[in-house]
Amino acid sequence: MPLIQHLTVEAGLKAEQDLLASVCAGEMEAGVLFWQPTDRALVMPRRLSRLPGFDQASVELAASGWPILLRETGGEPVPQSASTINIALVYAPLRSEGDHGRIETAYRRLCEPICDLLTQLGGAASLGEVEGAFCDGRFNVNLNARKLVGTAQRWRQSQGGQRPVGLVHGALLVEDERESMVAAVNRFNQLCELEQRCRADSHIALHEVFAAPDFFERLSASYQQILAPLLKP
């Protein structure tokens, strides 16, 4: 199987949920999924479907090439296209870690290998909010002070409720499609009477700065090292 799977956005979201279900069922201890969309969609939390203007936004955005899909994780609208590579890290923490700080630890497990690799390439990597970014958050991964990766997570109980299992997701922009992505998010927000407006220059794509042909191979190796202590002997 190739390192990066090429899937429709709908199939990619399902693949993430299937991986989460497998770990919850005890069929595997942990896993990492890299996938790249073969189509485009504006993906958002299910709660946003209750907004006034949502139905009109769905029709208009679909007509403009950005159909809306709903996801199980939180956050705000995120454009997905072939310009994006998604990373899903799924695992059950060791019981010795306890529950305190579980969410922050999960974000750091996802984000720190990306930051380390960007630093090795010569970039200025950081975590934090970026004014004007869509789906902005404290655990954005930023490159040269502009948003590169958006993150979200979802937790479930394993079968029997014995332990929590987390799905930590990152959407990394690899190619510059910032203008059309931001236009889609802003049009949705306008039609649904949301105040936020995003800016293209708040974002950056990996390949605008680095060719990095082995970026995801190196990243995958880092995640395997991180997950190794969480696997049963």
Q: By residue range, what is the domain housing residue 126?
A: 5-230
Q: Whole-prediction pTM value? A: 0.94
Give the number of domains in the chain.
1
pLDDT tens readout for residues 19-57 = 999 999 989 889 999 999 999 999 998 899 999 999 999
117-131, 145-159, 190-204: the lowest-pLDDT one: 145-159
Q: Are strands 164-173 and 41-45 parallel, antiparallel or unpaired?
A: unpaired
Give the rounded distance of the alpha carbon of 208 from its chain centre.
Answer: 19
pLDDT of residue 233 exceeding 60: no
The domain that holds 70 is classified in CATH as 3.30.930.10
Spatial separation of the C-alpha atoms in residues 45 and 60, rounded to whole Å: 19
